[in-house]
Amino acid sequence: MVDDCNDPMALEADLFCDQEMDLDTIEHSVKDILEAIGEDVDREGLLKTPHRVAKSYAELLGGYRMDPRELVNGAVFDVGYDEMVIVRDIEFYSMCEHHMLPFIGRIHVAYIPSDKVIGLSKIPRIVDLFAKRLQVQERMTRQIAEYIDYVLKPQGVAVVAEGLHMCMMLRGVKKHDARMTTSTMLGAFRKDMSTRMEFLDNISRGAERLHF
Ligand SMILES: [Zn+2]
């Protein structure tokens, strides 16, 4: 991890790992796990499995190597707009840090600009930046909100995440509809009930249940 406390972009630098993921080590470790399970690592179906798992980690955990500074570069605009901006139903895929099993779902984001807005396509990218790591849903939700707050200095930010957690669905309690909702409300969304309700009404209208 980058560690430079004098960097005014420290918040962003902290999120960014500038070393390549060590895929060889992951491959070797997965082979060890297969052996520990009692598998025959030389049987045909498993020969390439360590390599595939390493590559899938590189993708599923790609957030560590998305540079947050490049992400927003040139995508923040000054406009005279101060109404609520809502982007709903953004799909996310993350990995629970307790079990290294996926949790997936949807995120709804809103903000009220002070003077700056961000290109719409950047919001799903910001979601990916925080989702594609080892996470807990509560922290992911808060980080997305705080990052948008940091980049745009808006009047307020709201983020609601709905996630299905494989670690709850498949093991232990086996709740097949283990949906978890988390939210972070900052600024106007925290202080002003009607602002918060406007957002929550919007995202509940026509909301579909998650089906898998
Ligand atoms: Zn878990």
Q: What is the pLDDT of residues 140-198, one digit of tens each?
A: 999 999 999 999 999 999 999 999 999 888 876 666 667 899 999 999 999 999 999 99
Q: What are phi and psi of 93, to 5 degrees?
A: -135, 120
The mean of the pLDDT values for the chain is 90
Helices 122-131 and 137-152, axial angle in degrees (round to 10) = 140
Q: Measuring CA to CA, which residue among 94, 93, 107, 63 is closest to residue 207?
A: 107
CA–CA separation, 146 and 142 (whole Å): 6
Q: What is the pLDDT of residues 99-135, one digit of tens each?
A: 999 999 999 999 999 989 999 999 999 999 999 999 9
Domain 74-204 fold is GTP Cyclohydrolase I, domain 2 (3.30.1130)
User: Which residues of the chain form beta strands (DSSP E)?
Assistant: 76-78, 85-96, 102-112, 116-118, 134-135, 156-165, 179-187
- Is the pLDDT at 4 greater than 60, yes or no? no
Ligand 1 centroid to 126 CA: how many Å?
Answer: 23
The question of whether 97 is a catalytic residue gets the answer yes
The question of whether 108 is a catalytic residue gets the answer no
∠ CA 113-116-118, rounded to 5°: 95
Q: What is the pLDDT confidence band of residue 73, given thresholds at 50, 70 and 90?
A: confident
CA–CA separation, 85 and 21 (whole Å): 36
How many other C-beta atoms are found inside a 10 Å radius of the C-beta of residue 23? Answer: 15
* Lowest-confidence region among 6-15, 65-74, 134-143, 180-189: 6-15
Q: What are phi and psi of 138, to 5 degrees?
A: -60, -45
Q: Which of 17, 39, 167, 198 is catalytic?
A: 167
Ligand 1 centroid to 169 CA: how many Å?
Answer: 10
| Residues 64-79: b if buried by 16+ CB within 10 A, e if exposed | bebebeebbeebeeee
CATH of domain 10-60: 1.10.286.10
Q: Which of 135, 137, 143, 155 is catalytic?
A: 137
The question of whether 98 is a catalytic residue gets the answer yes
Give mean pLDDT, residues 75-87. 93
Ligand 1 centroid to 162 CA: how many Å?
Answer: 15
Ligand 1 centroid to 103 CA: how many Å?
Answer: 8
Ligand 1 centroid to 85 CA: how many Å?
Answer: 32
- Which of the pair, 68 or 186, is modelled with greater confidence? 186
Q: Which of 17, 39, 51, 99 is catalytic?
A: 99
Q: Which of 12, 27, 96, 135 is catalytic?
A: 96
**Entry pTM:** 0.89
Domain ranges of the chain: 10-60, 74-204
The question of whether 138 is a catalytic residue gets the answer no
The question of whether 19 is a catalytic residue gets the answer no
Q: What is the pLDDT of residues 187-204, one digit of tens each?
A: 999 999 999 999 999 999
